[in-house]
């Protein structure tokens, strides 16, 4: 019986991880997600989970209903998870929003809230009720909560590892949802069967209660068997693929969908119109063949190449297929290296080959490298004449890494003396709004911080050319026209007239004047990704005008904006607590909220640091998260063993808070040291090991505090359900604030160092509250 309960608790963590990840991925494809929409979706999941844990904790206090309630929640997940995946795919169709149209913040918020509500509420409630069942079974209080917390963490580790290395590459989301649902149904049936036997002696003592329990259990058992049989039939028959195909074609209504596949890096889709194929990554078009966007492709390829007197070696980062490579190899190049992160994009290009893509990928001068662009540049010993960055704007932390000072430093090292780096940015030919000007000024000034010569070429997409050599600043349109003719380039739109139009001095001066009017802004850096914030602000201004003022205020924030309210909160808390002594225990709840925030913040900081220092490698990012969860389990296990021998719980909590405070100060110091010595091979080799170790320590510290807080709150009383639900909700509440604030505001505006200082200040507040309280 205990083994079946432990299996159910492990499955709780496993289910939560898989459900969260596949729903976020599906919603991001539907809403073309950036870091803001990721924060909104993840925030909705966490706050709903907190609500489920807190408000359903009262149900868990009734022992006779605990198992039934847990089983009912497993049934709910098995039913609603496939429905939620289907709903995420058809959401835009139901809202009447055409494919390709940008979606505002409010539709992203309420759509994800409604779709996630049944799953998140059930997932949060399962923890509270699971604690009550385990406590009833083992006759433990605080230790039972700690063990449930540990089992959930272990299940999450298993789920994360299997998801990254096995599930995503081989199964579509409908299959995953059905499979997870089936596992929950099997667990539910085991719980009903085994726990029903344990209650048989009570039937003779209480006939009325026994009949009620038997009939309810028999009913649940029948429902579970029917649901399991139905789920198994759909999963192991062609029905699962039929549902998958129906949902994806509804999602792409009006398009002839030819291909839809998930990879570790995103979702790849291919549509067909006549003989034309369009390739999408997470719902965003990235290439069209055999007839690409010729104006964009020819400008991006030929203008940098023509500015160089003799381009022989070229590096393309992202977006090479669908015309760019074809245009580049028209020049007398000897070698083109093409770094493409997602192999599935190239696989799709081979599967739906056109004469254009076949020529590009089979050209003997082209070498395709399935690698993160930054990682490739750090490993490559080549020096290039031209480097072309063809990536979307810095809308996520991962993309922003290609617009930072550190990346431009890497590019300068990878360029020959007269080499040219080409970077694009959203533009306008008529009006440069504040948000658009801020983004362009950020990229332009960051380039100028590294390269002495930067040339801006305005358009619907602005093109910035940067070089360590003075050549790009002295080249005139006549020389480019001459090189176009000398190289006998066959182009459709890039004519003599078009070159003169693009290099018109009046247009270039208008763009530079617009950027000069932007107040002195931040340089975009790995550890202070201001470019991400400016891009999110631009996106918000385009889709949700009502939030323009909010983002302007957010952009002006500094550390004092957060520290002053913290000080006011602490003083107010002291004043209220003096009048109401019972609020002393609330200090522990505040501690758990701040630790939940810190845990989420540390996770994001370390992932960003790893991506910036090393490169984007999905398996390693998944491993970082798994290591954090392992640390969580280790910390909880250690504390569970220690606290049974400790009598002064407050002293132990103070020591733990002090360790988290010290850690939050130590992390930015280590990261800054790594950044300052990144060019040294020994330091670079240590990056992975040290960041993984930091992630483990973070998990240990965060995981240690939750069991101890539960012991302090319980004090020998048997309110396991309420205490577990309340403190788990506090933990998730802190994580919710972290999910919304850290990636889209704190890190981009304050930077990693100041964000860690803010975490330290939060822990100072919670530490002072604990030190001065009577627990």
Residue 549: count of CB within 10 angstroms of its CB: 9
| Across 22-36, 175-189, 740-754, least confident range | 22-36
Tens digit of pLDDT for each residue in 529-557? Answer: 999 999 999 988 888 777 778 888 898 89
Mean pLDDT over 327-342 rounds to 95
Mean pLDDT over 261-265 rounds to 85
- What is the per-residue pLDDT for 218? 80
Q: Residue 488, CB half-sphere, CA atoms under 13 Å: how many?
A: 1
Instruction: Give every CB contact of residue 49 below 8 A, 6+ residues apart in sequence.
Output: 16, 120, 121, 123, 124, 732
Tens digit of pLDDT for each residue in 422-463? Answer: 999 999 988 899 999 999 999 999 999 999 999 999 999 999
- What is the per-residue pLDDT for 324? 95
- What is the per-residue pLDDT for 158? 95
Residue 104: count of CB within 10 angstroms of its CB: 17
Please give the mean pLDDT across all residues of the chain: 89
- What is the per-residue pLDDT for 200? 42
Strand partners, 369: 339
Mean pLDDT over 203-225 rounds to 63
Tens digit of pLDDT for each residue in 312-324? Answer: 999 999 999 999 9
Burial of 369 (0-12, 13-18, 19+ CB in 10 A): middle
Whether 210 shows a pLDDT value over 60: the answer reads no
Tens digit of pLDDT for each residue in 657-705? Answer: 999 999 999 999 988 887 776 555 556 667 778 888 999 999 999 999 9
Token output for 285:
């078009």
| Across 113-122, 229-238, 374-383, least confident range | 374-383
H/E run at residue 256: strand 256-263
Residue 173: name the closest of 21, 346, 279 by CA: 21
- What is the per-residue pLDDT for 490? 92
Whether 213 shows a pLDDT value over 50: the answer reads no
**pLDDT confidence bin for 140, thresholds 50/70/90:** confident
- What is the per-residue pLDDT for 673? 83
Is 133 within 8 Å of 192 (Cβ atoms)?
no
- What is the per-residue pLDDT for 64? 62
- What is the per-residue pLDDT for 265? 84
Instruction: Give every CB contact of residue 561 below 8 A, 6+ residues apart in sequence.
Output: none
Rounded Cα distance between 323 and 143, Å, is 62
**pLDDT confidence bin for 775, thresholds 50/70/90:** low
Whether 63 shows a pLDDT value over 70: the answer reads no
Contacts of the segment 475-482: beta carbons below 8 A, 24+ positions apart: 475/307, 476/503, 477/503, 480/303, 480/306, 480/307
Whether 208 shows a pLDDT value over 50: the answer reads no
Burial of 274 (0-12, 13-18, 19+ CB in 10 A): exposed
Whether 211 shows a pLDDT value over 70: the answer reads no
Rounded Cα distance between 469 and 471, Å, is 5
pTM of structure = 0.89
Tens digit of pLDDT for each residue in 390-401? Answer: 999 998 888 999
């Amino acid at each position: 019986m205990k083994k079946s309960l432990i299996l159910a608790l492990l499955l709780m963590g496993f289910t939560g991880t898989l459900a969260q990840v596949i729903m976020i991925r599906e919603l991001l494809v539907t809403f073309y997600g950036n870091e803001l929409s990721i924060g909104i979706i993840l925030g909705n999941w966490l706050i709903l989970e907190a609500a489920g844990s807190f408000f359903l904790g009262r149900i868990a206090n009734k022992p006779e209903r605990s198992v039934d309630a847990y089983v009912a929640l497993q049934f709910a997940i098995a039913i609603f998870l496939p429905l939620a995946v289907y709903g995420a795919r058809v959401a835009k169709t139901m809202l009447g929003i055409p494919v390709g149209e940008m979606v505002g913040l409010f539709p992203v918020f309420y759509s994800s809230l409604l779709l996630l509500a049944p799953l998140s509420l059930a997932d949060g409630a399962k923890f509270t009720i699971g604690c009550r069942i385990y406590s009833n079974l083992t006759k433990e209080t605080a230790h039972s909560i700690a063990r449930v917390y540990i089992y959930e963490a272990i299940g999450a580790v298993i789920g994360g590892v299997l998801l990254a290395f096995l599930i995503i590459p081989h199964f579509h989301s409908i299959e995953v949802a059905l499979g997870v649902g089936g596992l929950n149904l099997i667990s539910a049936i085991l719980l009903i069967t085994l726990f029903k036997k344990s209650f048989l002696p009570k039937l003779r003592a209480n006939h009325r209660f026994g009949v009620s329990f038997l009939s309810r259990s028999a009913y649940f058992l029948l429902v579970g068997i029917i649901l399991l049989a139905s789920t198994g039939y759909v999963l192991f028959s062609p029905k699962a693929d039929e549902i998958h195909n129906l949902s994806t074609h509804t999602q792409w209504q009006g398009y002839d969908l030819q291909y839809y596949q998930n990879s570790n890096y995103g979702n790849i889709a291919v549509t067909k119109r006549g003989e034309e194929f369009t390739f999408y990554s997470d719902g965003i078009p990235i290439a069209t063949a055999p007839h690409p966007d010729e104006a964009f492709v020819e400008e991006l390829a030929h203008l940098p190449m023509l500015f160089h007197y003799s381009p022989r070696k070229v590096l393309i980062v992202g977006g090479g297929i669908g015309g760019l490579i074809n245009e580049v190899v028209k020049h007398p190049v000897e070698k083109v290296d093409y770094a493409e992160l997602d192999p599935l994009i190239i696989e799709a290009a081979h599967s739906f080959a056109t004469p254009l893509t076949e020529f590009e990928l089979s050209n003997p001068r082209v070498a395709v490298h399935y690698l993160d662009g930054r990682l490739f540049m750090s490993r490559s010993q080549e020096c290039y004449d031209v480097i072309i960055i063809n990536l979307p704007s810095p809308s996520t932390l991962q993309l922003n890494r290609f617009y930072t000072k550190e990346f431009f430093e890497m590019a300068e090292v990878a360029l020959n003396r007269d080499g040219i780096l080409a970077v694009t940015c959203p533009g306008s030919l008529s009006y440069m709004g504040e948000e658009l000007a801020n983004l362009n000024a950020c990229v332009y000034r960051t380039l100028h911080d590294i390269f002495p010569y930067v040339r801006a070429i305005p358009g619907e997409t602005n093109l910035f050319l940067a070089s360590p050599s003075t050549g790009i600043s002295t080249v005139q349109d006549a020389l480019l026209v001459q090189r176009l003719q000398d190289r006998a380039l066959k182009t459709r739109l890039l004519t003599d007239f078009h070159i003169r139009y693009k290099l018109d001095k009046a247009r270039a001066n208008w763009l530079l004047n617009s950027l000069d009017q932007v107040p002195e802004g931040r340089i975009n850096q790995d550890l202070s990704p201001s470019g991400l914030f400016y891009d999110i602000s631009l996106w918000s201004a385009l889709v949700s005008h009502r939030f323009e003022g909010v983002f302007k205020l957010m952009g002006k924030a500094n550390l004092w904006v957060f520290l002053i309210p913290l000080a006011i909160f602490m003083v107010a808390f002291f004043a209220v607590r003096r009048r109401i002594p019972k609020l002393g225990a609330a200090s522990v709840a505040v501690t758990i909220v701040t630790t939940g925030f810190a845990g989420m913040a540390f996770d994001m900081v370390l992932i960003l640091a790893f991506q910036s220092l090393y490169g984007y490698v999905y398996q390693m990012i998944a491993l970082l998260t798994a290591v954090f969860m392992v640390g969580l389990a280790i910390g909880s296990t250690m504390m569970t063993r220690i606290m049974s021998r400790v009598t002064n719980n407050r002293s132990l909590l103070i020591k733990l808070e002090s360790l988290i405070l010290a850690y939050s100060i130590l992390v930015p110091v280590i990261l800054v040291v790594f950044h300052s010595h990144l060019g040294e091979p020994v330091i670079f080799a240590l990056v992975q090991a040290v960041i993984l170790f930091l992630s483990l320590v973070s998990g240990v510290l965060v995981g240690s505090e939750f069991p101890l807080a539960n012991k302090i709150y319980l004090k020998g009383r048997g309110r396991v359900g309420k205490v577990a639900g309340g403190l788990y909700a506090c933990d998730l509440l802190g994580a919710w604030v972290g999910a919304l604030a850290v990636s889209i505001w704190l890190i981009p505006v304050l930077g990693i160092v100041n964000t860690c200082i803010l975490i330290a200040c939060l822990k100072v507040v919670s530490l002072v509250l604990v030190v001065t309280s009577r627990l």
